[in-house]
Amino acid sequence: MHPITRRGFGALGFAALAAEAFAKAPAIRSAWPDATETAALIRTGRLSAAEATQAAVDRTLKLQPKLNFLVASDFDRALSRAGGPARTGAFGGVPFLVKDLDDYAGLPTRLGSRAFLPLPAARRQDALIDAFEATGVNIIGKSATPEAGFLPTTEPIAFGATRNPWDPSRSAGGSSGGAAAAVASGAVPIAHASDGGGSIRIPASCCGLFGLKPSRGRMIGTRQETKISDLSVNHVVTRTVRDSAAMFAAIEDRGPGAQLAPVGLVTAPLRRRLRVGLVAEGGAGKAPSAEVRAAHESAAALMRELGHTVVPTAWPMGRDFINDFLLLWASGAAGLAETIGKLAGRRADADLMEPFSLGLVEMARRAGPDALPKALGRLQAAADAYDAWFTRNRFDVVLTPVLAWAPPKLGEVGPTVPFDTLIERLIEYVGYTTYHNVAGAPAMSVPLHWTPGGLPVGSQFAARVGGEGLLLQLAYQLEAARPWADRAPAVRA
């Protein structure tokens, strides 16, 4: 999930890491090239950028009717760029998608909402999209998202449901569901994703991908994002750890005055043993399904096999946390309704906003003006408890499920489910990812398990603020111990 938030405009840092990621990162056994290998093929002349782009366009045209992950195409401009001067950077010439919550100059921004369908193409883009382009990626279009990123499934009324490549009757997750479906199916090897309550980790888990949510203020253009209400962060979803690590190093803020010390390019697996906190229940005290519990126990067993110490623990925040988070979420919907009302010249109604979004607006209205400041105070206390939790227990990382269930059937957590019923389902389903957004801490979904029915189930590992380097090292170790990149879904290029 990923609500509309303010975007930062920072100085664009140098993003080209060129061949270093490919030369140093572990070899990957895979059914098709990842972004790092694709870039190496282009850089060494074994594949042209034009060929890579045309192939991505062809794959997208083939897969789009089956999965519905694209909401705006930019094929002509992408092919023109690919035929021009060579693009430098770590991912020179690699096809890429931008999530449709962000402006990309030349394409419209619809936010998954009917209210924004009439808008013209964006004329500007923010520093983060500039940073992506500086890595050399070739943007071929924009990926689908639920309305304003509010839901953990990508089923907007405006564009229809995005389907999961592993089982098209199921959700690809959200809000970066379009990006995840595109990468998991092989349409593109890497895609922009963002996370305001789990929107990188949730679709990564649903689609069998690797997804790292960075710390708050980590990336280029986010220096002013310092408050609890600044929930959203940006990165990518990928099939391999090395793709994620290379993009992270390329777009992290490395300039003078950066909020966090740069991590740099991580290329090697973990070489030390960790103390791991283990949490099975969601933040509201809900237990996961039997399938997810089996995946969680398997991940814990793998950590022990790798020599790590695993210690049961419990969330440090109170049970009122989820209600406070929902109120903050609802305040974002109220702000969106106000924007839509001004744009349309009338009150936002069911013709302009989805039922769930309108339910959030009503939740904010009923709470009254004094409720949000009090909720923010309690959320700040919960954020303060995060680091103390690690310190008190001497944890290096904490291991939890990503979601309470395996990927649900389409419609089960969609925007037209009656509001009170949907809220109850969301409190159970998305009980593991929101705390890290409030705390501003990094967390990752690692695809370590598939159900007997062939559905992916991710495991979530979280660290202290600024601890992305440790998470990436651990991810390399897990990828080597239980490889996943050679797995292919039912619907694929």
Q: What confidence tens digit (pLDDT) does each residue in 50-73 have?
A: 999 999 999 999 999 999 999 999
CA–centroid distance for 443 within its chain:
10
24 by Cβ neighbours in 10 Å (0-12 / 13-18 / 19+) ranks as middle
Q: Average pLDDT, stretch 299-321?
A: 96
Tell me, yes or no, whether 493 lies in a domain: no
Using the predicted structure, report yes or no on whether residue 122 has a pLDDT greater than 60.
yes
Write down the pLDDT at residue 24.
Answer: 57
List phi, psi (to 5°) of 397: -140, 165
* Residues assigned a catalytic role: 99, 175, 199
pLDDT tens digits for 382-406?
A: 999 999 999 999 999 999 999 999 9
List phi, psi (to 5°) of 340: -65, -40
Give the model's confidence band at 22: pLDDT under 50 very low, under 70 low, under 90 confident, else very high. Answer: low
Tell me, yes or no, whether 489 lies in a domain: no
Tell me, yes or no, whether 8 lies in a domain: no
Write down the pLDDT at residue 26.
Answer: 54
The CATH number of residue 227's host domain is: 3.90.1300.10
Write down the pLDDT at residue 319.
Answer: 81
Q: Average pLDDT, stretch 258-284?
A: 97
CA distance 43 to 216: 33
CA distance 485 to 489: 11
Amino acid identity, position 24: K
Region of 265 on the Ramachandran plot (φ > 0 left; ψ -120 to 50 alpha; else beta):
beta
- Name residues whose C-beta falls within 8 Å of residue 72's C-beta, 6 or more positions apart in sequence: 100, 107, 108, 110, 141, 142
Using the predicted structure, report yes or no on whether residue 437 has a pLDDT greater than 90.
yes
Amino acid identity, position 152: P
Tell me, yes or no, whether 171 lies in a domain: yes
Give the model's confidence band at 29: pLDDT under 50 very low, under 70 low, under 90 confident, else very high. Answer: low
* Triad 139, 144, 146: Cα angle to 5°: 145
Tell me, yes or no, whether 315 lies in a domain: yes
Region of 466 on the Ramachandran plot (φ > 0 left; ψ -120 to 50 alpha; else beta):
left
Range of the domain at 178: 20-481
Share of the chain above pLDDT 70, in %: 94
Tell me, yes or no, whether 12 lies in a domain: no
Number of domains in the chain: 1
Write down the pLDDT at residue 148.
Answer: 98
Q: What is the mean pLDDT of the chain?
A: 94
Which residues pair with residue 171 across a beta bridge?
Answer: 163
Write down the pLDDT at residue 61.
Answer: 98
Amino acid identity, position 477: Q
Q: Tokens standing for 102?
A: 């962000």
Residue with tokens 């070739």: 138
385 contacts 393 by C-beta, under 8 angstroms: no
Q: Average pLDDT, stretch 328-350?
A: 98
Tell me, yes or no, whether 339 lies in a domain: yes
Give the model's confidence band at 32: pLDDT under 50 very low, under 70 low, under 90 confident, else very high. Answer: confident
CA distance 47 to 425: 47
Q: Average pLDDT, stretch 31-45?
A: 94
- Mind giving me the DSSP string for 322-333? HHHHHHHHHHHH
Share of the chain above pLDDT 90, in %: 92
Write down the pLDDT at residue 18.
Answer: 46
Q: Average pLDDT, stretch 227-239?
A: 97
Per residue in 389-410, is it b (16+ CB within 10 Å) or e — as a string? bbeeeebbbbbbbbbbbbbbeb
- Among candidates 92, 155, 101, which has minimal Cα distance to 129? 101
388 contacts 357 by C-beta, under 8 angstroms: no
Give the model's confidence band at 14: pLDDT under 50 very low, under 70 low, under 90 confident, else very high. Answer: very low
Tell me, yes or no, whether 317 lies in a domain: yes
